[in-house]
Amino acid sequence: MDAALGTIADPLVPTRARVLRRRRELADTWTLELEPEDPALLRFGPGQFNMLYAVGIGEVAISVSGDPTSGAPLIHTIRDVGMVSRALTRLQPGASLGVRGPFGSTWPVEAAVGQDVVVVAGGLGLAPLRPAIYRLLAERERYGRIALLYGTRSPSDILYLRELERWRRRLDVQLEVTVDHAGEDWGGHVGVVTQLIPRAAFDPTQTVALVCGPEIMMRFAGLALGDVGVADDAIYLSMERNMKCALGHCGRCQFGPMLVCRDGPVVSYDRIARLLAVQEL
């Protein structure tokens, strides 16, 4: 196994990382804390992704979901949806895997300084947004109002529940959670996450919005944010496509005229609003 992992600084060759901890988040979702041999992997920007290599099976692109200022460990939250992701979620502490990266563009947390920030997350889309949330909260005094709006299918599908509860207790952040459906024991919002946008407190003319979730949810979130007055070029989405090389060589992640690995995954809404409206693109 060790011979299959590289140790040279080649962006196409995975370097070895060891699983430190494995934590179940949801029925099909796990968080892995990794110790990479190459410390450069710990230097990433909020919104970037790595290619994780399950030895002998394949690679998959996974956003980094840890704190970009904390150093080790390297954290990824992974949903079991295929052969590679299933193999990764089943790795036990001490096991090895390969990592390439970090790749891609970042959430504009620096450009948002002095402005209100609205974070809109759907389902597992909270994971790629979490590094940006860490930065916003760690430097809270640099921003105006902050609203975190999160929607998922049901109460049992709420990701990072304890962390959400901790953020809710803060007095300097508005946190709203909604679910698509729930039983009588649920006392929170029921409905799609875009319904929370008009309830959030922010100045749309001085706001940067960060959005991540299923593609259809991001399309409607962009429209809803525009309806309340947020400019298209102040709305940022994190796109997901089937990535292979992560370097813009293979073309597998093409989305219209752009390659998600090279030009994204974080892109401004004004660049792709028209493309999002094209079915099955």
CB-based contact 77:30 (threshold 8 Å)? yes
Tokens of 196: 């929370």
Reply yes or no on whether the pLDDT at 259 is more than 90. Answer: yes
Decide: helix, strand or coil at residue 78. Answer: strand
Q: Band of the pLDDT at 120, cuts 50, 70, 90?
A: very high
CB-based contacts of 198: which residues, under 8 Å, 6+ apart? 224, 228
pLDDT of residue 252: 92
Q: Which residue has the tokens 């921003």?
A: 143
Mean pLDDT comparison of 5-9, 118-122, 255-259, highest-scoring range: 118-122
Mean pLDDT computed over 105-115: 97
pLDDT of residue 281: 67
pLDDT of residue 72: 82
Within 10 A of 192 (CB to CB), how many other CB atoms are there?
Answer: 17
Calculate what percentage of the chain has a pLDDT beyond 90: 89
Q: What is the pLDDT of residues 60-97, one digit of tens each?
A: 999 999 999 887 899 999 999 999 999 999 999 999 99
Distance CA 46, CA 52 (A): 17
pLDDT of residue 7: 43
Residue 226 CA, distance from chain mean position: 22
Strands (E), the chain: 15-26, 29-36, 49-54, 58-63, 74-79, 96-103, 116-122, 146-152, 174-179, 189-190, 207-212, 235-238, 254-255, 258-259, 266-268
Q: What is the mean pLDDT of the chain?
A: 94
CB-based contacts of 2: which residues, under 8 Å, 6+ apart? 16, 96
Q: What is the pLDDT of residues 205-239, one digit of tens each?
A: 999 999 999 999 999 999 999 999 999 999 999 99
Phi/psi at 178 (nearest 5 deg)?
Answer: -135, 155
Within 10 A of 7 (CB to CB), how many other CB atoms are there?
Answer: 12
Domains of the chain: 2-103 (2.40.30.10), 116-276 (3.40.50.80)
Q: What is the pLDDT of residues 140-160, one digit of tens each?
A: 999 999 999 999 999 999 999
Alpha helices per DSSP H over the chain: 83-89, 126-138, 161-168, 215-227, 260-263, 269-276
